[in-house]
Amino acid sequence: MNQREGDYVPIRDAENIQLGMFDKPLPCFGCGIGWFSFLLGFVFPLMWFFSAILYFGKYYNKDPRERSGLAACAIAAILFTIVAVIALLVYML
């Protein structure tokens, strides 16, 4: 049975009962690496930078559901860096 029609591949077919591409739960308690790192980053900010590296390395191509959490971590890492630099400049002057 040919499952390809044009350029599209069905994720789940009624005739072929296999697990779909996104039926498996995300790692880290089901919220994904990105959102877990985002929450953990408020206690340990280096997690934001770790996830930002994953985001800019296009880790979300493995699972697109990770994209929003990793993007949130990249934004948080940039904001944290800006605030840290401003605080350091104010402290030094």
For the stretch 29-50, pLDDT in tens is 878 889 999 999 999 999 999 9
Distance CA 72, CA 69 (A): 5
pLDDT at 76 over 90: yes
70 in any annotated domain: yes
Give Cα 10 to chain centroid, integer Å. Answer: 24
Q: What is the pLDDT of residue 2?
A: 54
Number of domain units in the chain? 1
The boundaries of the domain holding residue 49 are 32-92
pTM of the model: 0.72
Mean pLDDT of the 10-34 span:
69
The helix/strand/coil state of 10 is: coil
45 in any annotated domain: yes
